[in-house]
Structure 1
Amino acid sequence: MRIGLVCPYSFDAPGGVQFHIRDLAEKFLELGHEVSVLAPADEDTPVPDYLVSVGGALPVRYNGSVARLSFGPVVAAKTRSWLAAGNFDVVHIHEPLAPSVGLIALMQSEAPVVATFHSAQLRSRAMQLGYPLARPGLERISARIAVSEDARRTIVEHMGGDAVVIPNGVYTQVFATAEPAERWRGTPQAPTIAFLGRLDEPRKGLAVLAAAAPAILDAHPGARFLIAGKGDMSEARQLLADRADALEELGPITDAEKASMLAATDLYVAPQLGGESFGIVLVEAMSAGASVVASDLPAFRRVLDDGGSGFLFTTGDPDSLASTIIGALADPAEMERRRAYARTAVRRFDWDRVAARILDVYAMVTEHQTAEPRSLLGRLFGRGEGR
């Protein structure tokens, strides 16, 4: 099958959506399909051979964060060329409402379109504003996928209709077989507690972890907090004052380093405040054998089976986070019981299963392909009249 995947967000600063698309493309290639990814990326950004860039991107506030998006006539022309050259059996667009290349591809594509929605914000101003503009194009979507029940509810709330829930995928065996990095391995006297995310994005919750750290250090004076990701963590250091040396700033880390860190750490903490539709890193941490402590967001509750495979604390509450971590470290047997449950539970997120379900959706839409009317908005976004 010839598959075209479209990413609205730039590969210059990759996040969960970009990683999802990258891994999906590589799984399809492994299975023998022809795959091409269309996405924004600057000229000097290293990208895989299967990715076609529409050029650089601009930072735009979108859905509670800052996203790097690409749009305009040059992007429309490059998208048209990519679609023509690919002659795809199916075009799979991620976050089609984002004002970027995905929306342009939706307007131009002659092939059946599958759309995946990642966002989970029941009161998304971006979706409220974008839906009326994009509605004629959205009628061209043959099948909708939501990465979680929370993302599905967002679709229902803002667009009507429904979507099949297919979770994000993870190469679980990569994390399960990762060699623990000795420099990040903890001990009963000096446990390691890891955080991974954009340090200067408030909703990722680093400030909550930093505020909880003093109480954790009172109970475990030798504890180390491994902080990985891009951004400035000066605010977190200020919250710890003279105990800031317990924070070990790792900066951006590679996928291999992430797997080694998660395999070595005692606890992985996800203190996010909201805007999460899934929680890939929770699955990665569970696969690697780390115990997980996460805020009780609905998406995280579902990934952790309501606490069956990890520990939950009250979102945004440093006292709750501190007591949860202290309680977990005080009960190694319970930590191991939940880790054992998690090792089995994560199998449902493995790419072998996830990719197979997505291919089933592709088969359905290609078997029921119908002609679609050309829309005015399609022409405005660069769709040619002779196509």
Structure 2
Amino acid sequence: MTATGPTPGPPSESGTGRPLRVGIVCPYSFDAPGGVQFHVRDLAQALQRLGHEVSVLAPADEDTPVPDVVTSAGRAVAVRYNGSVARLTFGPRAATRVRRWLEAGDFDVLHLHEPMVPSLSMLALWLAEAPVVATFHTSQERSRALQVAFPLLRQSLEKIAGRIAVSEDARRTLIDHVGGDAVVIPNGVYVDEFDRAQPDERWRGTPEAPTIAFLGRLDEPRKGLEVLAAAAPRVLETFPGARFLVAGRGDAGRDAAIGALGPRSGSFEFLGGISDSEKASLLASADLYVAPQTGGESFGIVLVEAMSAGAGVVASDLGAFRRVLDDGAAGRLFRTGEPEDLARALLAALDDPEGTAERKACASAFVRRFDWSAVTQQVLAVYEMAVAAGDAMDGGVSLRGDERVGWLRGRRPGGGEGA
């Protein structure tokens, strides 16, 4: 697995006055990477580019290729979580590996992703002595897993000096299940890498035979492939040459979609798993990218990637997607889980090329706020606050979690505004 993005440049010091030693813990296995793993990988690279020393701890099998920055914590076990299948590592052996990694790293700041999930991140939180920053990715109205984990972590959560949520939806989930607050910092994308991606003639469409791309794990119903399959016949009535390019792993999901489509199945081309460069090329080639997810999405990183690559976007009106698409200004929205409304939105985008072009132009400007150049500086601001809070505690001053968030937002402990 290779990382996308620019190559490392000259060191750049953070606001602490020196490069930081940063330890990042990813709870999910790199055997089947998804949004959190890619986020961790790209953040590590962006920090290295600024001159910081970074080490990532994550589950991975011995034969799984991982980026050089990743230390494997061993094989993971697949469990159901948040409407998906998460591959996690937990238990005494994993705890020993976490302890050794922490001792060897001697980190200035420890960045844990999803510490409420029984995983490496939870173990690292229990064992942590360095200042801790935590990022919360999950978005759910009600999570039994978080409700169960909270009593186990109640005391350890006080170690967290800075809380980050990747979206307002993730922030709300955290507040409802755990309490306290978090700073919203979105997932990052190397926007220019997608903007420069070259189209592939195999995936380019024409006005009469447009191409519509979908990326996601095909065996996860919440990714919405069944919704897209149900909407396709109506699109094909108007555009009989339309091609649906489906990228992602999952034989059962592919077979179910083919069965549901019947004689229309020839319009769906299943590409299987694709590389980062192929993904960028696919998004640069397709006329439209469709995101028919039905729930469980806290951000929508692939929407940002599609917008960066210049594809027109049609997405379900989940709260996270609505915000990424600037409430519909940067892409068309349809009612979640409704194939007829998805078909309407797809046809509207194809029948109105001028309107679609206007949304693409809006998207091209809007995605800049998600570029790693901007996101990394926001993350570093949290690191610096966490290190400063740790120094204050060493000096006999202790900040409560809500005061730490207030400090980051410019309020001095005790309620006054910062200078």
The TM-score bracket by the shorter chain reads: over 0.9
Tell me the residue number matched to 1:384.
none
Tell me the residue number matched to 1:279.
300
Supply the AA of the counterpart residue of 1:242. P
Q: 2:198 aligns with which of 158, 179, 182?
A: 179
Mapping of residues 1-387 of structure 1, within 5 Å: 1-232=20-251, 233-369=254-390, 370=393
Is the 8 Å Cα contact of residues 199 and 229 (structure 1) preserved in structure 2? Answer: yes
- Report percent identity of matched pairs: 65
Deviation at 1:128, TM superposition (A): 1.0
CA distance in 1, matches of 2:83, 2:352: 37
Supply the AA of the counterpart residue of 2:70. L
- Structure 2 unaligned regions, length at least 5: 1-19, 397-419
CA distance in 1, matches of 2:30, 2:340: 37
Is the 8 Å Cα contact of residues 63 and 125 (structure 1) preserved in structure 2? Answer: no
Aligned to 1:366, the other structure's residue is in SS state helix
TM-score (norm 1): 0.95
Aligned to 1:306, the other structure's residue is in SS state helix
CA distance in 1, matches of 2:168, 2:50: 28
CA distance in 1, matches of 2:92, 2:245: 44
Aligned to 1:66, the other structure's residue is in SS state strand
Is the 8 Å Cα contact of residues 316 and 335 (structure 2) preserved in structure 1? Answer: yes
CA distance in 1, matches of 2:88, 2:233: 39
Supply the AA of the counterpart residue of 2:214. F
Supply the AA of the counterpart residue of 1:191. P
Post-superposition Cα deviations, 1:120-146, rounded to whole Å, max 9, x if no partner, equal: 102111111111111121111111000
CA distance in 2, matches of 1:256, 1:327: 30
CA distance in 2, matches of 1:238, 1:219: 22
Post-superposition Cα deviations, 1:182-220, rounded to whole Å, max 9, x if no partner, equal: 110011010000000000100000000000000000010
Post-superposition Cα deviations, 1:68-116, rounded to whole Å, max 9, x if no partner, equal: 0001111111111100110100000000001011000001111000000
TM-score (norm 2): 0.88
CA distance in 2, matches of 1:368, 1:126: 30
Supply the AA of the counterpart residue of 1:44. D
Is the 8 Å Cα contact of residues 60 and 69 (structure 1) preserved in structure 2? Answer: yes
Q: Count how many residue pairs are aligned between Structure 1 and Structure 2.
A: 372
Deviation at 1:239, TM superposition (A): 1.4
Cα RMSD, aligned residues only: 0.9
Post-superposition Cα deviations, 1:266-308, rounded to whole Å, max 9, x if no partner, equal: 0000000000000000000000000000000000000001100
Deviation at 1:63, TM superposition (A): 2.2
Aligned to 1:334, the other structure's residue is in SS state helix
CA distance in 2, matches of 1:355, 1:257: 25
Post-superposition Cα deviations, 1:32-54, rounded to whole Å, max 9, x if no partner, equal: 11000001000000011111111
Runs of 4+ in 1 over 6 A off after TM superposition: none
Tell me the residue number matched to 2:14.
none
Is the 8 Å Cα contact of residues 97 and 103 (structure 1) preserved in structure 2? Answer: yes
Supply the AA of the counterpart residue of 2:322. R
Deviation at 1:64, TM superposition (A): 2.2
Aligned to 1:139, the other structure's residue is in SS state helix
CA distance in 1, matches of 2:153, 2:287: 46
Is the 8 Å Cα contact of residues 83 and 220 (structure 2) preserved in structure 1? Answer: no
CA distance in 1, matches of 2:273, 2:84: 19
- Structure 1 unaligned regions, length at least 5: 373-387
Deviation at 1:6, TM superposition (A): 0.2
Supply the AA of the counterpart residue of 1:24. L
CA distance in 2, matches of 1:184, 1:62: 34
Deviation at 1:357, TM superposition (A): 0.4
CA distance in 2, matches of 1:208, 1:70: 33
Tell me the residue number matched to 2:400.
none
Is the 8 Å Cα contact of residues 97 and 131 (structure 1) preserved in structure 2? Answer: yes
CA distance in 1, matches of 2:69, 2:167: 27
Deviation at 1:62, TM superposition (A): 1.7
